[in-house]
Structure 1
């Protein structure tokens, strides 16, 4: 549950200490959706949507980073960029990376045109063994647009998996009649090249149990765990002032080529998380990254050197109709030194861990404030934010009384983990240093984290 007060007036210019340091951001300017995560030959590769030319959304490129350990990341050259005269002239939108016949292949959404004239096609690029060089398919798009019978131009964000000897492909879409709602489409192929439309894979009403599921679904992701299958979609209302709402999950199974499942709720209980991407690593873990949006007025955003970030890598598990997340244990390697109660103010690159009581923990610079406290006799956790840019917000997520809570603060970016639930938000600090306090400091451990791990 989220409560938000109106944001205050614009600030004159964005300070540099808002930029996250141990999270992935662009070299400069804008990033959004994570794309194509894969664990290959002992290295994690992660791609993402980027506009390297301005601190705002623009025709997307694919940025690329890689890591041996999910902590230290190396930047690589741009993997994909829009090209005039091609089906991606107005953007290389989201997709996935798969190994097809022993070779890396990116499947992505190529876009030409805008608004009602926009064409969304499924495109392909083949990569070198080290994933550093990519060649677009000279034959053009695999799917030049949606099937005629769909009646909708929304046809984006391919996600592939192999089902026996055949490949399956999912695309996000939406309906056009009645109360519009999201749906996922399915295609099938014997070789990853020739695709046949197989109809609607899954759809759900606009609202379930008070949760708005939007008019359009983006970035479908599928994960199997034992006898259960989870489908994750990102919900959008295209004409709304803030169209990118949240990501939701469903848990069920695939029967005769269609998904049948029940809602598993929000993947994140904050106000900036969107478009998660999933992969399975060599250890069999399902890993997840999401896009952390900003909560700033446009005129402030225009002064920012880095807009948007990716969350820390999270482990996703499926069980008892729930999707649970926790930060990967490798993140403990970020810890540099404990922060004591009497220490001077520190840079906002921190991890907090413990069991907050009613009075909770506070991170503040005397102007902006982040507070985490227990409520309902410890059965829930309340996260409160107040700063001069994003305004005042409060969020609630579940918590088993006494269980450990972990909080990551990195520049303005905040991630909270409690009882398998996650919450992502922003706190725009007025000062470059913050203080951490708790009435019972014995209930709290604080570490300064390494802010120089993305190079």
Structure 2
């Protein structure tokens, strides 16, 4: 049975060719936001991961840069340059990431220095931390660097040899020589055990807001990528000046089925989040597709989201800049009970009140209550749904979708989106 050629999104961050997964190294440098991402420039499959690079002046118009760096032959990252972060507070730009050496996925923490102000050229990697032999740690990855109590620290996702997850704490006042401190969070925390069951916690990210602190985790079960969750809790300092965290509540970061490995940037006016919209790899040879696809690409990043801790919940809202994608001269009403077709991209805005909304595509069907209102953004195969009460958005991906049919129990409006803003 032949496949329908994929309809790639035009408004989400993605490479023009190849594979994309986790967002990495997010920073606001000069007058631009930069995001790097896990990338295979040779094919739309996960293999020999490099760091791709895009930047934007407004979080809407993104410019794809040359590949930032890739595996170093005979180096500590020769099997892949995996997830990591921009290191804040240094005299010159640097990134720290997991360098993978072989098929066992054994890793170290590698650091590279930027060699130009556009963040296009980078130094060779320097190993600054290794997987500890203590505390039964079997795997370690995805450094997150932060400051607390006037010192620099790093969190790393981990799995222990009893198949339980952990977050590790390192001190890194000396950015070139990190010291292992110990287990920072484990499933012994009952709230974490309830809301974040996993074998490995990946991509730990701290979120600081005026309303409180949250920890974002991505959950892996027996090599299967599950979902991303948040834990709101109390960040404190122990008697030795080290940061501690005790979770109070938890919940899903996204209610869909494809968001994973989000990264958070402490940005103004609120923390900024981008996540990976998962997509299966596409065959490098497109001969089995109905139409030849010139530039095969798999994966993209979500629209930018702003985060806030409100009470005991982490809330997500679409960054207002995305609203500029709407074409002000191309919108139409949708009466209650009617159905309308959205070709490739559009925004369905449903006001608050009783009722439901429904979206159907080639292989996907989703919907839910209107509540305080929802905004449904459709960009090719990717759909993002934002409830206006700030509860968890949902992200969906449907390979092969060309059109979506929208039905609502209440009046709504459909807005066309502008052409690709690159």
Deviation at 1:320, TM superposition (A): 1.1
The answer to whether the 8 Å contact 1:370/1:427 transfers is: no
The answer to whether the 8 Å contact 2:144/2:204 transfers is: yes
Tell me which residue corresponds to 1:319.
310
Among candidates 253, 263, 270, match of residue 256 of structure 2 = 270
Tell me which residue corresponds to 1:131.
119
The answer to whether the 8 Å contact 2:49/2:82 transfers is: yes
Among candidates 295, 304, 308, match of residue 299 of structure 2 = 308
Structure 1 window deviating more from structure 2 (339-348 vs 19-28): it is: 339-348
Partners of 2:269 and 2:121 lie apart in 1 by 27
Deviation at 1:313, TM superposition (A): 0.3
Structure 1 window deviating more from structure 2 (419-428 vs 291-300): it is: 291-300
Q: Deviations over 1:322-342 (max 9, x none)?
A: 111010111110001214559
Give 1:25-44 correspondences, 5 Å limit.
25-44=14-33
Tell me which residue corresponds to 1:219.
203
Give 1:342-353 correspondences, 5 Å limit.
345-353=341-349
Partners of 2:281 and 2:341 lie apart in 1 by 25
Tell me which residue corresponds to 1:425.
396
From the superposition, tell whether residues 346 and 229 of structure 1 become closer, same or farther in structure 2 (CA, over 3 Å): closer
Tell me which residue corresponds to 1:192.
175
Partners of 2:355 and 2:284 lie apart in 1 by 36
The answer to whether the 8 Å contact 1:50/1:62 transfers is: yes
Partners of 1:141 and 1:369 lie apart in 2 by 45
Q: Deviations over 1:220-258 (max 9, x none)?
A: 10122236221111110134xxx0001111112233232
Instruction: Give the 3-state SS of the residue equivalent to 2:74 in structure 1.
Output: coil
Aligned length: 402
Partners of 2:404 and 2:143 lie apart in 1 by 42
Deviation at 1:357, TM superposition (A): 6.5
Deviation at 1:164, TM superposition (A): 4.4
Tell me which residue corresponds to 1:234.
218
Tell me which residue corresponds to 1:436.
406
The answer to whether the 8 Å contact 2:157/2:200 transfers is: yes
From the superposition, tell whether residues 315 and 300 of structure 1 become closer, same or farther in structure 2 (CA, over 3 Å): farther
In the alignment, is residue 84 of structure 1 matched against residue 108 of structure 2?
no
The answer to whether the 8 Å contact 1:29/1:56 transfers is: yes
Tell me which residue corresponds to 1:161.
146
Tell me which residue corresponds to 1:338.
331
Instruction: Give the 3-state SS of the residue equivalent to 2:343 in structure 1.
Output: coil
Q: Deviations over 1:144-177 (max 9, x none)?
A: x211113333111111012344210111101212
Partners of 1:93 and 1:105 lie apart in 2 by 15
Partners of 2:363 and 2:81 lie apart in 1 by 37
Among candidates 349, 356, 363, match of residue 360 of structure 1 = 356
Partners of 2:156 and 2:196 lie apart in 1 by 20
Partners of 1:405 and 1:132 lie apart in 2 by 39
Instruction: Give the 3-state SS of the residue equivalent to 1:331 in structure 2.
Output: helix
Tell me which residue corresponds to 2:247.
261
Instruction: Give the 3-state SS of the residue equivalent to 1:338 in structure 2.
Output: strand
Q: Deviations over 1:361-389 (max 9, x none)?
A: 34446x55544232xxxxxx6xxxxxxxx
Tell me which residue corresponds to 1:398.
none
The answer to whether the 8 Å contact 1:287/1:316 transfers is: yes
Deviation at 1:358, TM superposition (A): 6.5
Among candidates 403, 407, 410, match of residue 379 of structure 2 = 410
Deviation at 1:450, TM superposition (A): 2.4
From the superposition, tell whether residues 350 and 122 of structure 1 become closer, same or farther in structure 2 (CA, over 3 Å): same
Structure 1 window deviating more from structure 2 (86-95 vs 29-38): it is: 29-38
Partners of 2:48 and 2:281 lie apart in 1 by 21
Instruction: Give the 3-state SS of the residue equivalent to 2:323 in structure 1.
Output: helix
Partners of 2:194 and 2:283 lie apart in 1 by 30
Which runs of 5 or more residues in structure 1 are unaligned? 1-10, 375-380, 382-400
In the alignment, is residue 122 of structure 1 matched against residue 103 of structure 2?
no
The answer to whether the 8 Å contact 2:9/2:381 transfers is: yes
After TM superposition, the score normalised by the length of structure 1 is 0.81
From the superposition, tell whether residues 101 and 70 of structure 1 become closer, same or farther in structure 2 (CA, over 3 Å): same
Among candidates 252, 272, 287, match of residue 272 of structure 2 = 287
Deviation at 1:359, TM superposition (A): 5.9
Instruction: Give the 3-state SS of the residue equivalent to 1:332 in structure 2.
Output: helix
